[in-house]
A and B are shown apart, each in its own frame.
Chain A
Amino acid sequence: MIVAMAIGLAAGVAAGMLGVGGGILFVPALVIFLGFSQLDAEATSLLAIVPVALVGAWRQHGYGNLRLGEGVALGGLSAAGALGGVVAANSVPQRALELGFAALALAIAAQLVHRAVREDTP
């Protein structure tokens, strides 16, 4: 339990630094250290993400780094995307999806690095 809570702390720091929910650390912590199944871990991780994202967005609002309208719109539109994802999961081979998204993630990473290296101002 102590280890899982320590990983929770790390997940929160990552969430604040990078604007992610922290599920990438919550899920393995719940599976490996608390014996959750993958499905239960993903479901419970979602609950843990809610307060983290709310507090993080509130703090970023204080720092002047939040576009609330676009953020909420994005969240609503993602719900539609998740439904599409479930349909795709049932019609396309899982392995093709995994490799396709891996390629997408690498392409985005390359663009981020290119942009960061090109910029003169920090």
Chain B
Amino acid sequence: MGGRRWFKLGAIGTAAGAFSGLFGVGGGTIIVPLLILWLGYEEREATGTSLAAIAVIAAIAAGLQGAYGNVDVQRGVLIGMPAVAGVLAGTALQQRVPQRAISLLLAGLLVVVAIDLVVR
């Protein structure tokens, strides 16, 4: 991996971390489109790689929040279990839609996030 690529990865990571640290919105909303636009990822690759990054980020952050006693483990598991079933369905479904549709759905999500930031 060249220096330039590392620089871009660093910039994307910084933006994603800042975004989630500031607004409590997951970094994935920023990571996926920037992997596509800056690093030439295909849509599916960007979403898969983003999930690996999120697993690292969320594990660190959840550990820190847990140390402050803010995590409700029981209800976190209750809401997380159906979500694991959902992600199995979502990834399977994603293999069957055109990459372009993923990009357009992401654009829609970003517009929703922008509106939420402005009206809050």
What is the interface of chain A, defined by CB distance below 8 A to chain B? 1, 4-24, 26-27, 29-30, 34, 36, 38-40, 42-57, 59-61, 63, 65-86, 88-89, 97-99, 101-106, 108-113, 115-116, 119, 122
Say whether chain B's binding surface is mostly helix, strand, loop, or mixed. helix
**Chain B residues near A89 (CB-CB < 8 A):** 21-22
User: Contacts A16-B94, A73-B9, A78-B17; is A60 near B79 (CB within 8 Å)?
Assistant: no
The answer on a CB contact under 8 Å between A102 and B89 is: no
* Contacting residue for A24 out of B61, B113, B114, CB 8 A: B113
The answer on a CB contact under 8 Å between B85 and A9 is: yes
**Chain A residues near B91 (CB-CB < 8 A):** 16-17, 56, 59-60, 63
Q: How far is the CA of A81 from the CA of B34 in the complex (A)?
A: 15
**Chain A residues near B21 (CB-CB < 8 A):** 81-86, 89
Please indicate which of the listed interface residues B50, B92, B106 has the most CB atoms of chain A within 10 Å of its own CB.
B50
Interface membership of chain B positions 41-68, coded 1 if the CB is closer than 8 angstroms to chain A and 0 otherwise: 1101111111111111111111001101
Q: How large is the interface on B (under 10, 10 to 19, 20 to 34, 35 or more residues)?
A: 35 or more
Q: Which residue of A lies closest to B120 (CB)?
A: A98
User: Contacts A50-B58, A51-B84, A55-B84; is A80 near B13 (CB within 8 Å)?
Assistant: yes
The answer on a CB contact under 8 Å between A77 and B17 is: yes
The answer on a CB contact under 8 Å between B32 and A18 is: yes
Q: How far is the CA of A16 from the CA of B94 in the complex (A)?
A: 7
**Chain B residues near A34 (CB-CB < 8 A):** 75
The answer on a CB contact under 8 Å between B49 and A63 is: no
Q: Which residue of A lies closest to B22 (CB)?
A: A85
Q: How far is the CA of A63 from the CA of B89 in the complex (A)?
A: 13
Residue contacts A-B, CB under 8 angstroms, 17 given? A5-B79, A13-B90, A18-B109, A24-B113, A27-B24, A45-B24, A47-B77, A48-B83, A56-B51, A57-B52, A57-B55, A71-B56, A74-B13, A78-B57, A83-B21, A102-B117, A106-B111
- Residues of B74-120 contacting chain A, CB below 8 A: 75-95, 97-100, 102-111, 113-115, 117-118, 120
